């Protein structure tokens, strides 16, 4: 049976780790290298870094920062933030990233998904979808949640799967940073609509919040940031919470 992955999600802005709430008012957390060393020592399943400063300004995440981080790691590492060209993708792969996370480009230049998958394999392509619940249903936002679109997350997930995405990171803007639990309805709607793995993000505040994302949301992995920054919870504690519910994890 495929084991569920527990993935710390790190948000970078101006060279420092930040943590916003519902995508606004980001607070400084720490130097990224020191936090990365902690997760490396704990041998988490994977690590995702998103440069929210770059994504908001449509600039590429700094390859030099990626290189410094990957030099500290032996575990799988994905990064994203403002990526919209194959040249940028190549720089990040050369800097040590194993997966590339695309968000705004998945909407504005979806051919990039196809091109990255063709050159590096679809396992390299993670599409990040940020969704906000509205009166007419969930809507996709891009540019780090600052720009609304007319897309719904289910249709976008199905489309990016067709053209080469290997995974989808689904994040609830409403739940992000609140530490009040995942939006399992959103997660399940996307997970049940595609055949590729879904990484659930947005809202985890205690270990008990994670099993519902798998059992109710049908996610293949769980990502979180605030819980590791602001509580004493560790990825191992999350894994034990999952294991206690019969969910297979790498202990």
Give the per-residue pLDDT at 241: 98
Superfamily of chain region 5-243:
Aldolase class I (3.20.20.70)
User: pLDDT, tens digit, for every residue of 80-132?
Assistant: 999 999 999 999 999 999 999 999 999 999 999 999 999 999 999 999 999 99
Q: Which helix (H) or strand (E) holds 113?
A: helix 111-120
Statement: the pTM of the whole predicted model exceeds 0.75: yes
125, 86 Cβ separation under 8 angstroms: no
Return the domain boundaries, the chain. 5-243
User: pLDDT, tens digit, for every residue of 143-155?
Assistant: 988 899 999 999 9
Would you state the torsion angle of the CA atoms of residues 202, 96, 84, 16, taken in this order, to the nearest 10 degrees? 50
DSSP characters for 155-178? HHHHHHHHHT--EEEEEETTTTTT
5, 248 Cβ separation under 8 angstroms: no
Backbone angles phi, psi at 26, to 5 degrees: -65, 135
């Amino acid at each position: 049976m495929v084991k569920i992955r527990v993935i710390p999600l790190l948000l970078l802005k101006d060279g420092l780790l930040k943590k916003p709430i519902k995508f606004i008012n980001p607070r400084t957390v720490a130097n990224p290298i020191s936090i990365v060393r902690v997760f490396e020592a704990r041998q988490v399943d994977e690590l995702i870094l998103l440069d929210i400063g770059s994504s908001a300004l449509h600039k590429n995440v700094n390859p030099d920062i990626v290189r410094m981080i990957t030099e500290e790691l032996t575990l799988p590492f994905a990064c994203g933030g403002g990526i919209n060209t194959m040249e940028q993708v190549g720089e990040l792969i050369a800097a040590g990233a194993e997966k590339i996370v695309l968000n705004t480009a998945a909407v504005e230049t979806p051919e990039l998904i196809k091109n990255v998958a063709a050159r590096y394999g679809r396992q390299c392509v993670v599409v990040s979808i940020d969704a906000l619940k509205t009166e007419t249903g969930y809507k996709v936002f891009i540019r780090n949640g600052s720009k609304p679109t007319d897309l719904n997350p289910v249709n976008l997930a199905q489309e990016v799967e067709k053209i080469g995405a290997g995974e989808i990171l689904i994040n609830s803007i409403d739940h992000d940073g609140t530490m009040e639990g995942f939006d399992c309805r959103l997660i399940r709607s996307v997970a049940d609509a595609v055949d590729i793995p879904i990484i659930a993000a947005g809202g985890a505040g205690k270990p008990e919040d994670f099993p519902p994302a798998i059992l109710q949301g049908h996610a293949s992995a769980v990502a979180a940031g605030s819980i590791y920054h602001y509580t004493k919870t560790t990825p191992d504690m999350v894994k034990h919470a999952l294991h206690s519910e019969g969910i297979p994890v790498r202990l």
